[in-house]
A and B are shown apart, each in its own frame.
Chain A
Amino acid sequence: MVRALVLSAALVFATPLLAYNGHEAVTTFTLDNGMEVVVVEDHRAPVVQHMVWYRAGSADEPVGSSGVAHFLEHLLFKGTDTMAPGELSATVAANGGTDNAFTSYDYTAYFQRVAADRLELMMRMEADRMRNVRLTENDIVTERNVILEERNQRTENNPRALFGEQLNAAQFLNHRYGVPVIGWKHEMEELDMDDALSFYRTYYAPNNAILVVTGDVDPQEVRALAEKHYGVIPANPDLPERYRSQEPPQTAERRLIYKDPRVSQPYVQRSYLVPERDPGDQETAAALYLLAELLGGGTTSYLNEKLQFDAQKVVYAGSWYRGVSLDDTTFDLIVVPAEGVSLQEAEAAMDQAMAEFLAEGVKQEDLDRIKMQLRASLIYARDNVDGIGNRYGQALASGLTVEDVQAWPEILQAVTGDEILAAAREFLRPEASVTGWLMRDEEVTQ
C-alpha cells in the first residue's frame, strides 16, 4: 500500500528485532550538519534502497493536531520549488524504481528502491523535499480526504483496530502513545496548511534525520554523495529537544469492553506498561523480549502449550513486546477463546497459566531453543539487507545508537532464565495493565 502507515495495532507486532552482527557490512558516519548515515553493503545485485528517517512521529505532534505527522508524510509527495506535484514518484517510476513512506509514533521515513546507479538522483530529490515543499490549499483538501479514507479503511472498517485504539488510549494516561498514529478522526478533519507546515519546519532538518542506504553501494561514494546533497542543508538551530509528557505511576488496573456487531471472533487482549530498549541499557528489554518469545512466540510457547494443547481453551495465544521505542512501551498478551469458551473463562485460564509460568520458572531447553533460532536468524537476515537497514533506521530514530543495535544480539544471548522471571515479576503488574474484551454486542443478531 502506498504511503502506508506503520500500524501499531495489536496483531501486527512480534517481529524480532535482530541485527546482523557482521559489522563489516555496516558503515556509519555523521555529516557536519548532524545528519547520521548508515550504509549496509550487499553486492549481489545492482540495486539500492535509499531511506531518510526523521526523528519525528505522531508522538511529537502538538496537542489537538493528531495525525499531522502522517498527513505531512502524504503531503511530501506533492511539489517543491523545482518539482511538480507527483514528480518525485513519477521520476522514481520512470527510473524503474518504487517509492513509499511510513509514519509511526517515533519516526517518519521515506524510501526508494531502484537501480544502484540512480542513487544520486534519489538523494537529490529527497534532499530537495527536506526543505522546499510547496503546498496549495487544494493539496490540503484533497489529501485530507485521502487520509480520512485511509482511516476508514484501516480503522473505522475494522473493529479490531478500533478496539486497539481504545486499549492504547487507556494504557497511556499522559503520553502521546495513547493517540493513534493516523490521528483521531475529529482532529484529522481539522488539519490545515499551518499544522502541516509548522510540523515540517520544526522537524524536517538534517540534524533530525538519518540516512540509510543499503545494497550495492560503496560507503565512500555514499559519503561523497551525501555530503553533496544533504551536507549543504543547514542544520535547524531551533530543533526542539525531544521530550514528551511522561506517564505518571500507574496505580489502577484498567478494564474495558469494546462491543461491535461486526465482531465474529471475540478475544481478550491485555497490555502492560513496560520499559523500552534504552541506549547502553538494554538488558531489561532483552529479558522482556525473550519473555514474550517464551510465553507466546510460537507453537511451543508456554501459553500455547498450556491453553491450546493442554486445556484446549483457546485457538490461539500470543505475546509480543515492542522494544524499539523512545519512551515506555507495552508488553501484550492475547488469547482467542475456543468455541464455547467465554471471554471470562479464557482470561481466567490465561491468568492461571501466567501464574504457573512464574511459579515453575524458565525451562533451560526452551530458552536454548529460542537462542539457537536467534543465532540462525542472523544468518537468514543477511539475505535481506534492506531489513537490516530498516532496523538501524528504526533504532536510531527511537533513541538508540549504532552500538546498541550491534550489541543487541549478544545481550539477548546472555539473558538468563532468572533474569526473565525477574523482569516478568517486576513489570507485568496488574496496576500497570489494561485488559480488554472485544466482543459482538449481544443484542445484535444477524
Chain B
Amino acid sequence: MKAIATFVAALLLALPAWAEIQIQEVTSPKGIKAWLVEEHSIPFTALEIRFRGGTSLDDPDKRGAVYLMSGLLEEGAGDMDARSYARELESLAASFSYNATDDSVAISAQFLTENRDQVVDLLRTTIHEPRFDQDAIDRVRAQVLSGLKSDETNPNKIASRHFAKMAYGEHPYGSEGKGTIESVSALTRDDIVAAYRGVFAKDRLYVGAVGDITAEELGVLLDTLLADLPETGAPIPGKAEVNISGGVSVVEFDTPQSVALFAQKGIDRDDPDFFAAYILNHILGGGGFESRLMQEVREKRGLTYGVYSYLVPKDLASVYLGSVASANDRIAEAIEVIRAEWRRAAEEGVTEKELQDAKTYLTGAYPLRFDGNAQIAGIMVGMQMEGLPIDYIATRNDKVNAVTLDEINRVARELLDPEGLHFTVVGKPVGLETTN
C-alpha cells in the first residue's frame, strides 16, 4: 500500500501506482551515489545500505565470520559497550537492523526527522568504529550456535543444507552462511575484524532512501556515513558450478511429515528469457491458489497445505527451486504429481488464458509491493544491484505484457527439465528411496 506521495489524485483510477514513484539519483559532495524518493508526509526516513559480497566472502576455513560480524554491529561501537549502545539506540527511538545473505550484507535503518543528526552520528560510529569486544563475541556466538543446534533437527534446514552441498559442493553456496558449529566455535576476534574489513567498501556499495529527507540533506548524510569507507573490499568469489541431476535423495529423519525441496537448473536475471520464465513459474507454482501445482496437489487431492516453486537467480548461480510437505505416507504421491505437472508444462506449455491471467495478476500486483518507506528503499537497492535503470519501475509491466504465448512455451520446453528435477526429501517417506 501507499507507494509514494503524488500531487495528482484525480486520475488515480487510470494511473498505476508505480508510475508515481519519483526516484532521484543523488550524488553526495564526496561522490557517494544513492537513489531517493522524497516522501514528506510522515516525519521519518527509511535508509537501506547494502554491500555486495555477503557471506560468500568468508574464507573457507572461517565459515560464519561475516554472519557473526554482522550480528556484532549492534553490540557496541566507539566508547559504548553493548549495553550502553543499546540504550542509546532505544532512547533515539530509531531502529537499525543487519542482514547477511549469500550475496550481500544489508544495513536497514529507520529514524525520526526530529533527531536525525544524532541517529546518523550513531550509525556512523556503528559502521566505522565497531568494537567487537570479546565478551560480545562470545555472547553472540552462543546465540548463533544455539540457532545452529536448532537447525540440526529442523527438517526444512536439513533439506536445504543437503541440497546446497549436492548442488554447489565446495563453493560458498554449498554451505550455510551462518557457518557450522565447528567453524563458528573456532572463530577469533581477528577473524571478525578481517570479515569486517572485507565487507564494507565503496566498490560494492548501494544505497536507497525513502522519506522525510531532501536530496541535499541526503548528500550530507551519505558523506557522513560512507565517504570514509575504504575503496575496495575482499574479492568476490567466482560463479558456482551447479550440479543437479534428476532423482530423489532421502534424508532419514523421524518426524510425521516429510519435507521435500525440489530443484533443477535455473535462469539468470539478465537472461533475455527471464520474464517469460518468471511468468511461466507464476503459472506453474509461483502464484497463490491458482498455480497448477497448488490446484493439483492441494486443491484437488488435499496432499499438502502448500506447494510452491520459485526462480532463484543469485549473483553466483541460478537455480529453480520448489517446496512441498506431506505426511510420510503421502509425500510419494505429491512428488509424482509435481513431476507430472513439470512434464506437462514442458511438453504442452501453457494456455493463452493462463498467460493472460498471469499477466493481469503480475502487472496488477506489482504496485502493491511499494507499500511502505522501508519496502521501497529495499526495492530500489535491489534494482541497483541488478543493474536495472532508474526508470525500470515504469517499464516493468510493459516487459511482462510483451511476453507472447510462443515465447513462453519455447522457454517452457527449454527450461523445464522433468527428468532433471531432483527431490531432496527429509522425513520417513513411504515408498521413496535415494536414487543416485
- Give the distance in Å from the alpha carbon of A312 to the alpha carbon of B372 in the complex: 39
Q: Which A residues are in CB contact (< 8 Å) with B82? A: 299, 309
Complex Cα–Cα for A43 and B7 (A): 10
A308 touching B86 in the complex, CB below 8 Å, given contacts A45-B17, A46-B12, A215-B1: no
- Tell me, yes or no, whether A422 is within 8 Å of chain B by CB: no
A47 touches B289 (CB 8 A): no
Contact with A along B152-190 (1 / 0, CB 8 A): 110100000000000000000000000000000000000
Is B239 at the interface (CB under 8 A from chain A)?
Answer: no
Contacts of B42 in A (CB 8 A): 379, 382-383
Residue interface bits A365-382, CB-to-B below 8 A is 1, else 0: 000011011011101101
Q: A96-B361, A156-B256 are in contact. Are A146 and B298 (CB under 8 A)?
A: yes
Stretch at the interface among B61-69, B140-148, B199-207: B140-148
How far, in whole Å, are A77 and B305 apart by their CA atoms in the complex?
14
The answer to whether the Cβ of A42 comes within 8 Å of any Cβ in the partner chain is: yes
CB contacts (< 8 Å) of B325 on chain A: these are: 149, 152-153, 157
Interface mask (A127-170 → B, CB under 8 Å = 1, otherwise 0): 00000000000000111111111101100110100000000000
CA distance A273 to B154 in the complex (A): 31
B406: interface (CB < 8 Å): no
Which of A111-119, A198-206, A229-237, A347-355 participates in binding chain B?
Answer: A111-119
Partner of B303, one of A45, A49, A149, A298: A149
Number of A-B contacts (CB under 8 A): 213
Question: In the complex, how many angstroms separate the beta carbon of B256 from the nearest chain A beta carbon?
Answer: 5
A141 to B326, CA, bound (A): 16
Q: A89-B288, A93-B288, A379-B44 are in contact. Are A44 and B86 (CB under 8 A)?
A: no
- Provide the residues of chain A in CB contact with B326, threshold 8 Å: 149, 152
Task: Please state if B93 and A47 are interface contacts (CB–CB under 8 Å).
Answer: no
A73 at the interface (CB under 8 A from B): no
Closest to A156 in B: B256
B401 at the interface (CB under 8 A from A): no
Q: How far is the CB of B179 from chain A (nearest CB, A)?
A: 16
A98 within 8 A of partner (CB)? yes
A376: nearest chain-B partner, CB-CB: B93
Is B112 close to A, CB under 8 A?
Answer: yes
Say yes or no: is A262 at the interface (Cβ < 8 Å to chain B): yes
Roughly how many angstroms separate A42 CA and B373 CA in the complex, as a whole number? Answer: 13
- Whether A153 touches B143, Cβ cut-off 8 Å, given contacts A45-B370, A97-B365, is no
The answer to whether B146 and A93 touch across the interface, beta carbons within 8 angstroms, is: no
Determine if B417 is an interface residue (Cβ-Cβ < 8 Å): no
The residue from A89, A94, A146, A215 contacting B304, defined by CB atoms under 8 A apart: A146
Instruction: Tell whether A336 pairs with B146 under 8 Å between CB atoms, given A43-B9, A299-B86.
Output: yes
Contacts of A157 in B (CB 8 A): 155, 255-257, 259, 325
Name B357-372 residues within 8 Å CB distance of A.
357, 360-368, 370-372
Nearest chain-A residue to B140 (Cβ)? A315
- Of chain B, the residue at the smallest CB distance from A149 is B305
CA A46 to CA B153, docked complex, whole Å: 45
Q: Of residues 254 to 313 in A, which have CB atoms within 8 Å of B's CB atoms?
A: 261-265, 298-300, 305, 308-309, 312
- Contact of A339 (CB < 8 Å), options: B39, B145, B371: B145
Would you call B197 an interface residue if the criterion is a C-beta within 8 Å of the partner chain's C-beta atoms? no
CA distance A49 to B368 in the complex (A): 10
Closest 6 CB pairs of A and B: A96-B364, A145-B302, A376-B93, A152-B257, A45-B3, A150-B305
Q: B: which residues have CB within 8 A of A?
A: 1-6, 9, 12-13, 15-17, 20, 39, 41-44, 74, 82-83, 86-87, 90-91, 93, 110, 112, 139, 142-143, 145-147, 149-153, 155, 254-257, 259, 287-290, 295, 298-306, 325-327, 330, 357, 360-368, 370-374
26 contacts between A and B (CB under 8 A): A45-B4, A45-B17, A47-B368, A86-B289, A89-B288, A90-B357, A95-B360, A96-B360, A96-B361, A96-B363, A96-B365, A97-B368, A116-B12, A145-B301, A146-B298, A146-B304, A149-B305, A152-B325, A264-B149, A309-B82, A339-B142, A369-B90, A373-B93, A376-B112, A380-B110, A384-B1
